[in-house]
A and B are shown apart, each in its own frame.
Chain A
């Protein structure tokens, strides 16, 4: 009998992995934000475009280059003994990341990181999440020397729905990056409980 207590059978129990996406234009600080809040140094994983784009027709020209890979940086936050939160940023070949259907499928929500000097760089991400009804917030990474816009100016420039939160942040700062995630999760809670006009639910 006693032996059975010593035998630790492997058990994944209630273990659950969830993910948030950090999207935005090239060089806007996505991996910086992930690194600021992750419990591990951001890891990088790669996939061949031919694997990701399987089933997509307009890749003919790209798929021929079989060596093309798309990279993702991600971090990890152990929420509690059962829940692990993964933060996926999309560095490198930004123009391809949206093809990674597996990445957005099942995501709780997303942060679109924006740089006010190049707001147009995040139109693609905003469109992507809007069209797939993935709830997102916009976080404006306030670089040194960048013009500081207020939330309404950013909202107008990006033509955001009135309920989409806009948060100013410094992606290098842990507390500020944490606040971005808190804002997103509060928004996801509000959306899920019907306190925000949601498209999906």
Chain B
């Protein structure tokens, strides 16, 4: 996963590189990650020092807190499809852990609904 731009001066910037990084793989992992899949860093910033910038940025965002794919995409100003590929790489390499949302076909969970209702009432 370190096959991105060479180190040094020719950095094409954050908008170009993720697509260079993900080129040719943009369809592979899209179904595995949902926009609401939560991810959290399993390693520290320092351990990620050798990675490309976008990977490090994602890990920095997810240190000590769970963020959804949608939030990461918004914070990094990247399309969801690109973020899914990058996050997939980080999960495969053990840098991130993930938790998928409840299955779409799942029956409504009364306890869950009650907890959400209680939480909203307290706002």
Q: With A83-B112, A189-B117 given, is the CB distance from A15 to B99 under 8 Å?
A: yes
A199 contacts B by Cβ under 8 Å? no
Task: Compute how far the CA of A143 lies from the CA of B70 in the bound complex, rounded to whole angstroms.
Answer: 30
Is B120 within 8 A of A85, CB to CB? yes
Question: How many whole Å from A140's CB to the nearest CB in chain B?
Answer: 20
Which B residues are in CB contact (< 8 Å) with A80?
A: 115, 119
A83: contacting residue among B30, B41, B74, B115, CB under 8 A: B115
Count chain A residues whose beta carbon lies closer than 8 angstroms to a beta carbon of B: 45
Task: Compute how far the CA of A17 lies from the CA of B100 in the bound complex, rounded to whole angstroms.
Answer: 8
A6 contacts B by Cβ under 8 Å? no
Is B117 within 8 A of A37, CB to CB? no
B79: contacting residue among A46, A192, A201, CB under 8 A: A46
Question: How many whole Å from B113's CB to the nearest CB in chain A?
Answer: 5
Give chain B interface residues in 85-110, CB to chain A under 8 Å: 97-99, 101-104, 106-108, 110
Task: Compute how far the CA of A191 lies from the CA of B80 in the bound complex, rounded to whole angstroms.
Answer: 33
Residue of B nearest to A42 (CB): B74
B36 contacts A by Cβ under 8 Å? yes
Is B79 within 8 A of A185, CB to CB? no
Chain A contact residues, majority secondary structure: mixed
Binary interface profile of A, 85-99, with partner B (CB < 8 Å = 1, else 0)? 110000000000000
Is A102 within 8 A of B34, CB to CB? yes
Is A12 within 8 A of B79, CB to CB? no
Question: How many whole Å from B54's CB to the nearest CB in chain A?
Answer: 16
A64 contacts B by Cβ under 8 Å? no
Residue of B nearest to A180 (CB): B120
B121 contacts A by Cβ under 8 Å? yes
A176 contacts B by Cβ under 8 Å? no
Which B residues are in CB contact (< 8 Å) with A188?
A: 108, 113
Residue of A nearest to B117 (CB): A185
Give chain B interface residues in 56-77, CB to chain A under 8 Å: 66, 68, 70-71, 73-75
Task: Compute how far the CA of A16 lies from the CA of B113 in the bound complex, rounded to whole angstroms.
Answer: 12
B49 contacts A by Cβ under 8 Å? no
Which B residues are in CB contact (< 8 Å) with A56?
A: none
A18: contacting residue among B30, B112, B123, CB under 8 A: B112
Interface locus among A26-34, A71-79, A113-121, A152-160: A71-79
Is A16 within 8 A of B112, CB to CB? yes
Q: With A102-B34, A106-B106, A188-B108 given, is the CB distance from A12 to B40 under 8 Å?
A: yes
Is B79 within 8 A of A47, CB to CB? yes
Give chain B interface residues in 12-44, CB to chain A under 8 Å: 30, 34-38, 40-42
A48: contacting residue among B40, B81, B99, CB under 8 A: B81
- Can you list 23 A-B contacts with CB-CB less than 8 angstroms, sorted by A residue number? A10-B40, A16-B101, A16-B102, A17-B68, A43-B70, A43-B74, A43-B75, A45-B73, A51-B30, A77-B119, A77-B120, A79-B120, A84-B68, A106-B101, A106-B104, A108-B108, A178-B123, A182-B120, A185-B113, A186-B117, A192-B110, A201-B107, A201-B108
